[in-house]
Amino acid sequence: MEQTDLRAPTLAAGVRPVTPQQRAARAARNGGKPTLEFAERVPYDAYVRASTLHRLQQPLSDDPGELSFLMVSQIMELYFGLTCHELREAQRCLRADRVWDALAPLRRAALHLEGLNAAWKGLRWMTPADFNRFRNLLGEGSGFQSAMYRHLEFLLGLRDAALVRPFRRQPEVYAELRAALAAPSLWDDVLALLARCGFDLPAEVLARDAAEEHQPHPAVEAAWVAVYADGGGPDNHLRLLGEALTEVAEQFGDWRWNHLKAVQRSMGAKAGSGGSAGLAWLQRSMARVVFPELWSARTAM
């Protein structure tokens, strides 16, 4: 899915750029106090769309706890999208052999995932009794059906074509997911970079169908062992890349673990709302490792 340029709509919404000199002049006129009068819409709301955001919550019950569940879910959706944005930026840098430039979006992605993990704390109050007060009203609605989460998984290299099927009756979403599934993952771009840097990776790794999930390969593991054996100085950009990727993978793994614990706390081992086995499904999904050779290589270092 191509990332939309967010800047043009912002300017069209009434945000007026100002210079440092204009800000200083305004502060002098205000005597250091904030501006309270505006000719148009409040600039903060024009930029953040805060009034729109706060109209997007439409609980299905009168239970006061449901709003927490709904808003935390929406916050996670925003974090999914933000993390995808950063990973795509990292991909663009890696494809241009700009390894150093890829580190910043990867570090931001890890921090966004850290924020995503913190969102689970907003649901730690929820017991099965609390969830049951509104769960039936959700019908078959389930986080399993998050299209943006699928984009995140695909970018991280977790590929399963069957998981695109629920979106077939949403043509635009379906097309974007199909395109994401067919495109190289971040890990695919990392492996291509390693090959361009002289590491001997076989065609079965580099030329496989991108829609198929990468399977760990000893040649990839050996490449990372060699990268880390070259020392930890600032000139070893590949090692810095490995550590940035490891942080992303670790934070994503923490999110999956926190998800499992939240489900266990709020509904135990009951069947999932979306038709899965719930807890058992999540436990099986955690066996699929993100950037697997980065972890296995540590045994051989």
Q: With CA atoms as reference, report the closest residue to 187 among 252, 245, 101, 118.
A: 245
The pLDDT, as a whole number, for residue 266 is 86
Q: Please report which residue ranges of the chain form alpha helices under DSSP H.
A: 7-12, 20-29, 43-48, 50-53, 66-95, 99-119, 128-132, 147-156, 171-182, 186-196, 203-206, 218-229, 237-267, 279-285, 292-300
Chain center to CA of 51: 25
Q: How far apart are CA 178 and CA 55, in angstroms?
A: 31
Q: How far apart are CA 193 and CA 205, in angstroms?
A: 12
Which has more pLDDT, 170 or 10? 170
The pLDDT, as a whole number, for residue 253 is 94
Q: With CA atoms as reference, report the closest residue to 47 among 81, 21, 13.
A: 13
Answer yes or no: are the C-beta atoms of 266 and 128 closer than 8 Å: yes
Q: Quick one: tokens of 89?
A: 């930026």
Which residues define the annotated binding site for heme? 259
In angstroms and rounded to an integer, the radius of gyration of the C-alpha atoms of the chain is 23
Q: pTM for this structure?
A: 0.90
Answer yes or no: are the C-beta atoms of 14 and 38 closer than 8 Å: no
Q: Quick one: tokens of 151?
A: 């984009």
Which residues define the annotated binding site? 135, 259
Q: With CA atoms as reference, report the closest residue to 214 among 143, 153, 300, 147.
A: 153
pLDDT surpassing 60 at residue 12: no
Numbered ranges of CATH 1.20.58.480 in the chain: 66-300
Q: With CA atoms as reference, report the closest residue to 297 among 236, 234, 233, 245.
A: 245
Which residues define the annotated binding site for substrate? 135
The pLDDT, as a whole number, for residue 234 is 80
Please enumerate, as own/partner, the contacts of 239-246 that have beta carbons within 8 Å and a separation of 24 or more. Answer: 240/99, 240/100, 240/103, 241/99, 241/102, 241/103, 241/106, 241/190, 242/294, 244/102, 244/103, 244/106, 244/107, 244/110, 245/106, 245/186, 245/190, 245/291, 245/294, 246/291, 246/294, 246/295
Architecture, CATH, for domain 66-300: Up-down Bundle (1.20)
Instruction: Assign 1 a pLDDT band (cuts: 50, 70, 90).
Output: very low
Instruction: Assign 173 a pLDDT band (cuts: 50, 70, 90).
Output: very high
Rounded mean pLDDT of 171-176? 96
Q: How far apart are CA 295 and CA 263, in angstroms?
A: 27
pLDDT surpassing 90 at residue 198: yes
pLDDT digits (tens, 9 = 90+) for 218-234: 999 999 999 999 877 78
Report CA-CA distances (Å) from 111 to 7, 40, 129, 248, 277: 23, 35, 33, 8, 31
Instruction: Assign 272 a pLDDT band (cuts: 50, 70, 90).
Output: low
pLDDT digits (tens, 9 = 90+) for 87-123: 999 999 999 999 999 999 999 999 999 999 999 999 9
- Residue 263 makes CB contacts below 8 A (sequence gap 6+) with 272, 278, 279, 282
Q: With CA atoms as reference, report the closest residue to 128 among 257, 268, 259, 260.
A: 268
Q: How far apart are CA 118 and CA 111, in angstroms?
A: 11
